[in-house]
Amino acid sequence: MKILGYLERFGSSSRMLILTTLTFVILGTYSVYAQDATADHAVFVANNIWMMVATFLVFIMHLGFASLEAGLTRSKNTVNILFKNTFIISMGLLTYAFMGFNLMYPGDFSIGQFFGFAGFGIATPEGADGLIAYADGGYSYWTDFIFQGMFAATAATIVSGAVAERIKLSSFMVFATIFVTFVYTIAGSWKWGGGWLDQMGFYDFAGSTLVHSVGGWGALIGAILLGPRLGKYTKSGMKPIPGHSLPLVTIGVFLLWLGWFGFNGGSVLSGDPGPVSFVLCTTSLAASAGVLGSIIVSWFMFKKPDLSMALNGALAGLVGITAGADVVGITSAVIIGFVAGIIVVFSVVSFDKIKIDDPVGAISVHLVCGIWGTLAVGIFGVGEFSFLTQLIGVLAYGAFTAVCALALFLLIKVTMGLRVSEEEEMKGLDITEHGMEAYPDFQIT
Amino acid sequence: MKILGYLERFGSSSRMLILTTLTFVILGTYSVYAQDATADHAVFVANNIWMMVATFLVFIMHLGFASLEAGLTRSKNTVNILFKNTFIISMGLLTYAFMGFNLMYPGDFSIGQFFGFAGFGIATPEGADGLIAYADGGYSYWTDFIFQGMFAATAATIVSGAVAERIKLSSFMVFATIFVTFVYTIAGSWKWGGGWLDQMGFYDFAGSTLVHSVGGWGALIGAILLGPRLGKYTKSGMKPIPGHSLPLVTIGVFLLWLGWFGFNGGSVLSGDPGPVSFVLCTTSLAASAGVLGSIIVSWFMFKKPDLSMALNGALAGLVGITAGADVVGITSAVIIGFVAGIIVVFSVVSFDKIKIDDPVGAISVHLVCGIWGTLAVGIFGVGEFSFLTQLIGVLAYGAFTAVCALALFLLIKVTMGLRVSEEEEMKGLDITEHGMEAYPDFQIT
Amino acid sequence: MKILGYLERFGSSSRMLILTTLTFVILGTYSVYAQDATADHAVFVANNIWMMVATFLVFIMHLGFASLEAGLTRSKNTVNILFKNTFIISMGLLTYAFMGFNLMYPGDFSIGQFFGFAGFGIATPEGADGLIAYADGGYSYWTDFIFQGMFAATAATIVSGAVAERIKLSSFMVFATIFVTFVYTIAGSWKWGGGWLDQMGFYDFAGSTLVHSVGGWGALIGAILLGPRLGKYTKSGMKPIPGHSLPLVTIGVFLLWLGWFGFNGGSVLSGDPGPVSFVLCTTSLAASAGVLGSIIVSWFMFKKPDLSMALNGALAGLVGITAGADVVGITSAVIIGFVAGIIVVFSVVSFDKIKIDDPVGAISVHLVCGIWGTLAVGIFGVGEFSFLTQLIGVLAYGAFTAVCALALFLLIKVTMGLRVSEEEEMKGLDITEHGMEAYPDFQIT
């Protein structure tokens, strides 16, 4: 009405003109708005592609873990390790779809700040047909699920390495299932699900603590409860048990490094060019510095350039940078990685001194360097980061995960048993648990 | 002219005004249209990137197949298998460029609904300079070619596994070349090239039938004509011939799973976030359920957790979901994969019972689960899918491919011979056909 | 002021009308410009994602090289080779960040056309906060660094293969560090950094010369200075020393082929659909033709289908197409690859005849086929390419790199020593240099 009165101020020819003009302008504006949606849609498509690529990279980490773990252990336990890793990713995705995703990201269904559950199964919030933009328009609901699902199973995979060559297969399968479905997801909700640690200002970009330390605590508890492998710590001192295939270890580490581009790069949760590519740089340079750190220290310490240590140095650098890859500078990233590479060598040696047997160095890489990386955010992070808050986060995750893992392993121990018999361990799990050999054509020494 | 008359209705000042305004509006509109093209261009760029990523993933399936097949056979035939797989992808891309692409997608050059050919060689429809948007503006002509080319060779690779360890190399090379160039492409044109089965409403999203069953029929015919490997079926019963490297098998299966994200995800033919990410979820969850299905059944059946079966379960789930990955719900995908995982175990055991020797289980994985997946669209598909039409498609592809493969293998048999001599088979094809060993430094038992 | 005078020509109602209209038009135009930025931003995001994907693919080439080189040599030197390759990528990225990137792309800091240095370290031109569009708005500064950084280390990796099994580890580490940091980068600046060869019209799309020949010249000088491995050329003729794992070689070649999609595809420096996908087609078809060329020639020459040659044929085709992947037609790409596949076989045989021992064929693949590919641009290139200019480029790079490599290797020889002792070579570098075995569980012959 007001508009009509306003128009009456003009003569008839002018009125016609104004209407004509308005028509043009409205058409133009309509195009602009239609256009606006399209340009936003293009960014949405691109972001979503990025997150899907990141998903593939995290998926391939499972092959990386399988290769690394198999290569660092003896050929008589290879089938067992490959079986565990195939099981973990499959079980992990299914339980994550069944309830894990909704435990980790409870959204409106939080009960306080420590727990929440958005219900069983997965479906887009608007029902089966409504595929929607998600996370500030960045990617689809399904992309969110599958990206996070690939993350979930890694925690259990970390445990797998530390308990290798002596744990009963079925016992591990039960542990891994409960650990992935409940422990990882509930702990994750405290930060990534918007829970109490998130509100306190704790920062863990891609999971130095939420993924790696959580897995690492499970690994530590498992390795302690199981005890060392037969023949590792003898009266005449520690006897190294070398891994059976260094090429397999190298393939594993390179695939993990590759996967970390998705693990960290995808944790930006968008394809925004600046932040994502910056994260790729900090991630790569930390890994590189980790390799050099480990090479230098181990060369001094053992008087030989040690390939396993060089490779563990890459993983140490990667775990170390994971908590702060987006908030530390390039030089800081190099320092964090280099220190992680040094730490991992001392840590591996130290755990052997206190006779905690970890066949693949998982506790040193994932737990120790995960803690280092999380605290490093409080030291090197550019922005409002508190060392104390980071420490609280580390301790909270440590306490919760260690208690859960302890309870779980003890429960399994008294019900199913945890460790294979001495005879089975000597013969190897491949023959005794699976009735198969990994390399039947080869003469094994 | 009409516009000028229209303008005369206004006073001179108003005329000036209207021209000024129009100039602004036209400029604005021009920007909008320029803009429109740009936003569409952005989606085009993003889509095309997605299809290129999918292409890389399908490419890496060829390494997956090579690793799987080599790992599941004996070390004395490893060079032979790696050679075949290197040849197949190379020959496949070249013949697809030479004529396969234009046989499969004849476009306006269809002769009826069963056959068509758009000419030799590849070139953009508008000539060497004209790189154009393609397939509803989704991606470039060259992307289309290279994506489809990566698919083409997989069909022959599937055959390779079933005839391994006893087929003559040159005979296989001839078979594979003709099979990829003519049989796969003409059969493919019936559905993906818009032929008679497409018009009948037959649905096969990414090729449970068009790729996997087609390869599987070739595998079945080849395995029957060749007969079993020496020493497999003896008077005292079936004697398993274990694969020589389970790590290689595991690498193969994980790479195939990874590649399937491109095989199925790329078959959406755009980077549209909702559909593509949904397909990644159905694909992954079917693979996971396949693993669990195979583990459970084989554990019951053999009283041991069988790694080969767990890994074949993943492939079974992947083949099973391929036909309907975009049209079945999440729960249905889990069921389809789980059932495929169960089917593959029974199928492997059954083929051994009827003494059809398939060293890698290719017939069970690709043919049997390919049929299951295609029929499953008629059961679980959300939309207008007919079980009967799916069955007609399965039978039509079966009849055509089996007849072609039979004619081709028989022709080769009478001209070149199909199977190596007993002595060659005993010594292994690596030494006798290639004069090389795969592992010369290792002591082979 | 002029605008106000212009407005006074109209009556008051018309003035009001024009202001109203202008407001609408300005709002519309504002939206259009805001929109413009957004659509451009979408293309920027997509381009950047493409370049990051290309980065990952080039990264995985380092695993490809490690696998290839390890597989083609003896198991007693495997740890040594894996160690070198892990070191090279780590050192390469760090020195590239420290100074290599700024030596290769000196920008405004060029001193003449032969050298320039933009300072130590990396940082966005606008400081730590300013993440900017780069290279005509195509991708971010950080993406540029990490993509180019992945390239840098490949040159040293090429050398690694040719000097394998007899060079002292520490000597190689010193050589590789200086070669990557200074020789590769300064040479690279002549073309990609806009130096004298770029201004002369020399063309090398993705590095047949800048990467592969540069590495190849280093390889040739190294192999000559070191001399052949013990027992390779005896009085009774050349004695082949077969590689210890053909599956590892195959994994390596397929990963390199995969990586080449990023190496060549990323060298378009944008995700522009037409050019990038065209490059993927020329790249793949040249690789395929290389395989066929090598198979045919080696089958005739050795009377056996040779797997190593087939795989080297793929690499030959890939190196050959790298200089002109974007400027030659499809048929030309097939010819270039096919000829490269033939050349590589003759080259391998010829180097053995003149007793230059190259355990992995690196000189034939990277140097010889790199030269062929660079010259082929002058023959097949569509556009203004001069064979003579291409030849000048080849010779200039040859002279500079060969002289640098010679000086460097000689300096190392007189200071640190270049070759391990005969005893160490016999025992293998794994035990003598690293105190480790690659396959401790296996019986080695």
Q: Tell me if C284 sits within 8 A of B97, measured CB to CB.
A: no
Q: Is the pLDDT of residue C130 over 60?
A: no
Query: Is residue A444 situated within a structural domain?
Result: no
Query: Is residue C22 situated within a structural domain?
Result: no
Q: Is the pLDDT of residue A138 over 90?
A: no
Tokens standing for residue A195: 């829970």
What H or E segment, with its residue span, contains residue B133?
strand B133-134
Q: Is C14 on the interface with A (CB under 8 A)?
A: yes
Q: Tell me if C255 sits within 8 A of A251, measured CB to CB.
A: no
Query: How high does pLDDT run on average in chain C?
Result: 90
Half-sphere exposure of C1 (CA within 13 A, CB side): 0
Higher pLDDT, C37 or B430: B430
CATH code of the domain in which B78 resides: 1.10.3430.10
Q: Which of A74, A254, A285 has its CB closest to that of C63?
A: A254
Minimum mean pLDDT among A384-398, B129-143, B415-429, C17-31: which range?
A: C17-31
Task: Give the ipTM of the model, two decimals please.
Answer: 0.92
Q: Is the pLDDT of residue C79 over 80?
A: yes
| Amino acid of residue B407 | A
Nearest to C60 by CA among C129, C153, C143: C153
Query: Is residue C19 situated within a structural domain?
Result: no
Cβ-proximal residues to C216 (8 Å cutoff; 6+ apart), any chain: C158, C362, C363, C365, C366, C367, C368, C370
HEC profile of chain A = CHHHHHHHCCCHHHHHHHHHHHHHHHHHHHHHHHHHHHHHHHHHHHHHHHHHHHHHHHHHHHHHHHHHHHHCCCHHHHHHHHHHHHHHHHHHHHHHHHHHHHHHCCHHHEECCCEECCCCCCCCCCCCCCCCEECCCCEEHHHHHHHHHHHHHHHHHHHHHHCCCCECHHHHHHHHHHHHHHHHHHHHHCCCCCCHHHHHCCCCCCCHHHHHHHHHHHHHHHHHHHCCCCCCEECCEECCCCCCCHHHHHHHHHHHHHHHHHHHHHHHCCCCHHHHHHHHHHHHHHHHHHHHHHHHHHHHHHCCCCHHHHHHHHHHHHHHHHCCCCCCCHHHHHHHHHHHHHHHHHHHHHHHHCCCCCCCCHHHHHHHHHHHHHHHHHHHCCCCCCHHHHHHHHHHHHHHHHHHHHHHHHHHHHHCCCECCHHHHHHCHHHHHHCCCCCCCECEC
Rg of chain A over CA atoms, in angstroms? 26
| Amino acid of residue B212 | H
Tokens standing for residue C22: 């202008």
pLDDT, tens digit (0-9, with 9 covering 90-100), for B315-329: 999 999 999 999 999
Q: Is the pLDDT of residue C24 over 90?
A: no
- Closest-CA residue of chain C to A262: C56
Cβ-proximal residues to C6 (8 Å cutoff; 6+ apart), any chain: none
Q: Is the dihedral of CA C250, C251, C252, C255 positive or negative?
A: positive
Q: Tell me if C273 sits within 8 A of B140, measured CB to CB.
A: yes
Q: Tell me if B82 sits within 8 A of C246, measured CB to CB.
A: yes
3-state secondary structure of C364: helix
| Residue recorded with tokens 């520690």 | A238
Q: Is the pLDDT of residue A395 over 60?
A: yes
pLDDT, tens digit (0-9, with 9 covering 90-100), for C307-327: 999 999 999 999 999 999 999
Q: Is C79 on the interface with A (CB under 8 A)?
A: yes
Q: Is the pLDDT of residue A126 over 70?
A: no
Query: Is residue C45 situated within a structural domain?
Result: no
Structure confidence at residue A35 (pLDDT): 45
Angle C82-A207-A256 (CA atoms, 0-180°, nearest 5)?
Answer: 20
Give chain A's domain count: 1
Query: Is residue B74 situated within a structural domain?
Result: yes
What H or E segment, with its residue span, contains residue B317?
helix B307-322
Query: Is residue A21 situated within a structural domain?
Result: no
Q: Is A38 on the interface with B (CB under 8 A)?
A: yes
Q: Which of B90, B248, B437 has its CB closest to that of C242?
A: B437
Q: Is the pLDDT of residue B1 over 50?
A: no
Q: Is the pLDDT of residue B200 over 60?
A: yes
Mean pLDDT of A410-433: 97
Tokens standing for residue C92: 């390469």
What H or E segment, with its residue span, contains residue C380?
helix C369-380
| Amino acid of residue C321 | I
Surface of C (55-74) touching A: CB under 8 A? 55-56, 59-60, 62-63, 66-67, 70
Question: Pairing mode, if any, of strands A139-140 and A133-134?
Answer: antiparallel
Q: Is the dihedral of CA A76, A80, A86, A89 positive or negative?
A: negative
Name the β-bridge partners of C134.
C139
Nearest to B392 by CA among B232, B196, B178: B196
Contact list in B for residue A27 (CB cut-off 8 A) is: 29
What H or E segment, with its residue span, contains residue B43?
helix B12-71
Name the β-bridge partners of C234.
C237
Structure confidence at residue A118 (pLDDT): 79
Query: Is residue A88 situated within a structural domain?
Result: yes
Minimum mean pLDDT among A115-129, B106-120, C178-192: which range?
A: A115-129
Measured CA distances, B335 to B292, B298, B379, B380 (Å): 11, 18, 11, 9
Q: Tell me if B443 sits within 8 A of A442, measured CB to CB.
A: yes
Q: Is the pLDDT of residue B417 over 70?
A: yes
Burial of A200 (0-12, 13-18, 19+ CB in 10 A): middle
Banded pLDDT at A29 (limits 50, 70, 90): very low
Cα–Cα distance for residue pair C278/B1, rounded to 1 Å: 48
Structure confidence at residue B125 (pLDDT): 58
Expressed as residue numbers, the domain containing C229 is 50-434
Q: Is B435 on the interface with C (CB under 8 A)?
A: yes
Structure confidence at residue B210 (pLDDT): 95
Structure confidence at residue B122 (pLDDT): 83
Query: Is residue B6 situated within a structural domain?
Result: no
Q: Is the pLDDT of residue C37 over 80?
A: no
Angle A25-A26-A29 (CA atoms, 0-180°, nearest 5)?
Answer: 85
Tokens standing for residue B305: 């957790």
Burial of C159 (0-12, 13-18, 19+ CB in 10 A): buried
Contact list in B for residue A251 (CB cut-off 8 A) is: 251
Mean pLDDT of A11-31: 55
Banded pLDDT at A336 (limits 50, 70, 90): very high
Tokens standing for residue C405: 């490599």
List the chains bordering chain B where 3 or more Cβ pairs fall under 8 Å.
A, C
Q: Is B265 on the interface with A (CB under 8 A)?
A: yes
For chains A and B, CB pairs below 8 A equal: 228
Cα–Cα distance for residue pair B37/B44, rounded to 1 Å: 10
Q: Is B241 on the interface with A (CB under 8 A)?
A: no
Q: Is B123 on the interface with C (CB under 8 A)?
A: yes
Phi-psi bin for A242: left (phi > 0), alpha (psi -120 to 50), beta?
beta
Tokens standing for residue B319: 């083949």
Cα–Cα distance for residue pair B358/B350, rounded to 1 Å: 11
CB contact under 8 A, C17 and A22: no
State the best of A142, A143, A147, A250 to mutate against chain B, taking most chain B CBs within 10 Å: A142
Minimum mean pLDDT among C66-80, C110-124, C285-299: which range?
A: C110-124
Tokens standing for residue C126: 């606008």
| Residue recorded with tokens 């020639």 | C297
Nearest to B18 by CA among B30, B6, B31: B6
Mean pLDDT of C94-108: 89
pLDDT, tens digit (0-9, with 9 covering 90-100), for B213-257: 999 999 999 999 999 999 999 999 999 999 999 999 999 999 999
